Amino acid sequence: MIAIYPGSFDPITLGHLDIIQRGAKLFDQVVVAVLRNPNKAPLFTVQRRLEQIRTSTKHLTNVEADAFDGLTVNYAQMRQACVLLRGLRAISDFEVELQMAHTNKTLSTEIETVFLATSNEYSFLSSSVVKEIAKFGGSVDHLVPPHVALDIYQCYAQNHPVSNQITTESTKPLQS
Ligand code: PNS
């Protein structure tokens, strides 16, 4: 049974990796599918994200990474997959994910969405949280694989240099 794990993965986090590793035990093959989304301005190119995913999953023989355009169910049908795999972190995810699963069901009755509850230690974690921390000079070593953390630091150092010095009203120089 082939499962598609679709997403943006900008970048892949330890939370994503947790779902991939557990999915790899449940399904014969897991395809981590990066959506080429013209509506989003990503931090990393699709190619870079694929490399990050491939390096992060190289120990998993039944996991591959690919990119796709358009509807996820069409891509799943093309890959002869019958499962869409998604992680659930909180109730807020549930509302969005349930709507997506129902929508996908109207597009293809053959494809089932399977949710895995994200492991507790990653219940707060998202790619956006990782980018937010890195943008303000914080460490993301505990949130993403080491090679991804390096990519993130390099990307922000080149494109978005920031100072993580804290300025408060009380530290501003007094006006005369
Ligand atoms: O990582 P993300 O951004 O939460 O992933 C969302 C994703 C890519 C799974 C979702 O936006 C998606 O499937 N987009 C493809 C378009 C599609 O199939 N839309 C119909 C379902 S709402």
pLDDT tens for 49-90 read 999 999 999 999 999 999 999 999 999 999 999 999 999 998
Would you list the domain boundaries of the chain? 2-123
Q: Is the CB of 24 under 6 A from ligand 1?
A: no
State the first-to-last Cα distance of the chain, in angstroms, to the nearest integer: 73
Tell whether omega for the bond before 11 is within 30 degrees of 0, i.e. cis: yes
Q: Is the CB of 67 under 6 A from ligand 1?
A: no
Q: How far is the CA of 98 from the centre of ligand 1 (A)?
A: 12
CA-to-CA distance for 59 and 156, rounded, in angstroms?
Answer: 28
CA-99 nearest atom, ligand 1: 22
One-letter amino acid identity for 151? D
Give domain 2-123's CATH architecture. Answer: 3-Layer(aba) Sandwich (3.40)
Q: What's the token pair of residue 111?
A: 């494809």
Backbone angles phi, psi at 85, to 5 degrees: -100, 130
pTM of the entire structure? 0.92
Selected catalytic residue, list 16, 49, 86, 131: 16
CA-to-CA distance for 74 and 107, rounded, in angstroms?
Answer: 9
